[in-house]
Structure formats: C-alpha cells, structure tokens
A and B are shown apart, each in its own frame.
Chain A
C-alpha cells in the first residue's frame, strides 16, 4: 500500500509542476539592463517603482502630466558610464501608446534630433527620450561630455531590447 502511495506521489510531481507552470503568468520584463549588458554602462542603484498615486514623491508636480496621460507605473534606476558619466533611466508604463506619444510630443523642441530607437526617439546632448508601444523611456545624463550622446543612445538601445 505504501508503495502505491509512493508511485502516485512520484507521478503527481510532474503533473503539479505542469499545472504550476500553466498557472503562472509570463513574468513582466525588466527593462533595465544589468551591469555590462551595454558596453561601458553599470547599473548603479536598485530599481525604484512608483504607482501613479506615489509618483509625486519622485517627480513632484511633473507627475500630473503623466497621470493625465494615463501612466500606470514608473520605474527608475541610476547608471554610470565608465565610472564617470552619471545617468538616470526612467521607464513610464502608460495605459496605451497614445499616452507615451503625448508625453514625447510635449517635450519636443526644435533642437531635438530624431534617432532610431523604438517607435520614435528624440536625442539632445544629454538626454534621449523614446517611446515603444505603451512605454515611454527617458534617459538623462547629469554631466555633459563629448561621448554622452553616443553612450546614451547605446543605453537606450539596451533598454529598448528589454521592452
């Protein structure tokens, strides 16, 4: 009798595992490249995530325009390029692609340079902003440098690949 229970238990393991697997949702992708995933870049802080109601804690009055555009979640992490150039990556998950487009359009100025990242991307000397589907990504360097634009574009591609 004991052997019968043992056989049933052994047979049940793959069944339970299978059930568990089918019951799991696909894990949400982490958009933030790990250290060295993009040449020269290191992730230098933990990722912080803010629900819309808490977004003010991060960006104060700026939060209102994202809430009006339907932000669902905001995540942010700091990065360093070759130990010198500091940058921050903000990933805004919007309710729909139109929300991401609204924010991108609002920040556009005449000196913005269009680059090929995601669905649409704008680059300045110290920042890259792009949208891809429901995501709006803003990458900002805190210092100016000859290599900042190139490095930021590479990091933007790294983030895009994870979305």
Chain B
C-alpha cells in the first residue's frame, strides 16, 4: 500500500512523463489537461466516394484538421514547422514509416503519405530530406508508392536498400538489429501505421508498426507479442526518434488481420494522431472493439487476443506512455 507521499510522487512522475511526450500537443506544462496524453481523432464520413474510392483531396484536408487540433495551430505550415523544430529535425532527414505488410488494400494509403510530405515541404523541408520507408520495396509498392533513391527528390525505399546494423541490441526480451534508415539516416520519424486486427497481438497500430524497423520481426511474435512490442518500443533509438504518430484509420480490417480480408473490411474514415503511442493504441483498441461488437464478434479480450502489450508498455518497467483513459485527453474533430 502506497502512502500519500509515494502516491503523489508517482502521480507527479507520471504527469511529467506524459507532458514530456506531449511537446507538440501542449504548452509543455504538467498541469491540468496538458498533463494528459493528447490523442486526436479526425473523421470525414465522405472520405470514400460512392465507388468506395478514397478522395485524395479530402485526405489532405482531414490531415490539416487533425494536425491543427493536435498542435493548436490553425495554419498547417505553422503547425508543421513546429513539428519539425520540436522533433529536432530542422535541415535533417525526416522519415515517414509506413506499413505495407498487409498488401494492397490494407496498407498505409499513399494519399496520406503524400499529404504529409507535401505539408513538410510547405514548412520548408527539402524534398530530399523526406524519406518514406518500410521493410522493403514490396511493402512500399503495396501502399501505392514508387521507389526513388534520388537524394534531390522525395525519397522512398526500404531497409532492403539501406541494410541493418551489425550490432545486436537487447532490451528486455527483444534482441534486434535496427534498420540503418532509423539509426543513421533519420533524425526524426513520423509513424504512419494502419489500423488492423491482428491474429496474434490483437491489434496492430502505433507500437506494432515498429516491427518494420528491425531485421527479424518474426522473432518477436511469441505470447501475443507481449512483452516484445513494449520492449521494442523502449529501445532508446525508437523512444528518441519516433516523435509523432499519424495513424491511418481510413480503411481497416476488424477481423482476420493483419492481411487483407475484404469480407472484414471497414472504413472508419479517420486519422488518429498522438505522440504517446501507448495512448494512441489504447484509443485504437476501443475503436476496434466497438466495431467488432457492432458486427456481432467477440471483443478482443473475449476472443483471447487482448493487446496486453499496451498495458505492459504503460507499466513501470517501460513507462512508454499511458493506457489510462482518465489520463488521455481525447479530442474528436
């Protein structure tokens, strides 16, 4: 049983931690709402046209709305300048880590990636300082992207081009070799995952997308990916460089993931933004479970696939963020 002093100490430490993770989403004070992890859900019901095709122009507008709500800056260029500066990436390479593993149909949408790259350029980032990346060419092409290694243009290539570090690093249960794109090329990375059900981890979104930055992700799938996902996200290089998640929840699969399952396809038409990946995943879990319940399926917990790694990541061993809803400031726009 904690005494009052210990409780207050823990609470203060938690608030400081969350405030530190909300540099873009707050005034960096540890009081009131600013002490909470901010997560923005921006929705546009008309994001997909009558023919089910994604309206690219609406994606840009949705992104602007999400980032404006998150940063409190109404002009996108101002918001993105702040993201770049706070991320320590002025005149440095900014990575956009996508997720194309599910193949065509259930990969990060190119329209979102290009919208982010466009806004970064509006904020003064040179095209060659933007690097769209994932595991390999196939994953990037599944997103609808084209490989380009020209340093003067918007670049797009995978770890199959850069290679991996020789050094095997350890954190908890995870022993990994990192992509050189993460370790050597990028000063800052914007995480652009896609929301999916996952047969093993329950949910794949902000934290699970980090599996695409290591050489042998299949070694991290035991025990429902717990504690491996939390361990992986605790590596200093990930803590330091993955600054912001702009989660693609425009299209999703609520069952049968992580591959493309058209019979379980769903269009939440949303973006989920946050710096605290634990909070982002906790919110995403709620969204996924709500849809599963609507479709007459068991919740992930009842299906025996609860994403336990979220609580692990929030726990005192990892302290990656918060999974407590009362400590998450959820803004829906």
Binds A, one of B171-179, B256-264, B311-319: B256-264
- A-contact bits for B92-107, CB 8 A (1 contact / 0 none): 0000000001111100
Q: Interface digits, B235-257 against A, CB 8 Å rule (1 contact, 0 not)?
A: 00000000000000000000111
Q: Do B218 and A63 touch across chains, with their CB atoms under 8 A apart?
A: yes
Please give the number of chain B residues whose Cβ is less than 8 angstroms from any Cβ of chain A in the complex. Answer: 27
Which of B105, B198, B200, B263 has the most chain A CB atoms closer than 10 A to its own CB? Answer: B263
Interface flag for A105 (CB, 8 Å): no
A98 at the interface (CB under 8 A from B): no
Which parts of B174-205 form the interface with A (CB within 8 Å)? 198-201, 204
Query: Do A61 and B105 touch across chains, with their CB atoms under 8 A apart?
Result: no
Q: Is B290's beta carbon under 8 Å from chain A?
A: no
CB distance from B159 to the nearest CB of A (A): 12
Surface stretch bound by B, among A4-12, A18-26, A138-146, A153-161: A138-146
Q: Mark B198-219, 1 if CB is under 8 A from A, else 0.
A: 1111001000000100000110
Question: For B198, B256, B261, B264, which residue has the most chain A Cβ atoms within 10 angstroms?
Answer: B261
**Chain B residue, CB-CB nearest to A124:** B263
* B259-291 contacts to A (CB < 8 Å): 259-265
Asked if B75 CB lies within 8 Å of chain A CBs, one says: no
B298 CB-CB contact with A under 8 Å: no
Q: Complex: how many Å from CA A62 to CA B304?
A: 16
A88-B103, A107-B256, A142-B104 known; A61 and B52 CB under 8 Å? no
Residues of B within 8 A of A127 (CB): 261-263
**A140, B260: Cβ atoms under 8 Å?**
yes
Interface string of A32-68 (1 = CB under 8 A from B): 0000000000000000000000001001111111000
CB distance from A69 to the nearest CB of B (A): 12
Residue numbers in A under 8 Å from B218 (CB-CB): 56, 60, 63
Do the beta carbons of B263 and A86 come within 8 Å of each other?
no
A62 touches B262 (CB 8 A): no
Known contacts A61-B199, A65-B199, A86 near B104 by CB under 8 Å: yes
Residues on A with C-beta less than 8 A from B101 are 59-60
Q: Which residues of chain A are near B255, meaning CB under 8 Å?
A: 109
The 7 lowest CB-CB distance pairs between A and B, nearest first, are A126-B262, A56-B218, A124-B263, A61-B200, A142-B105, A142-B104, A60-B101
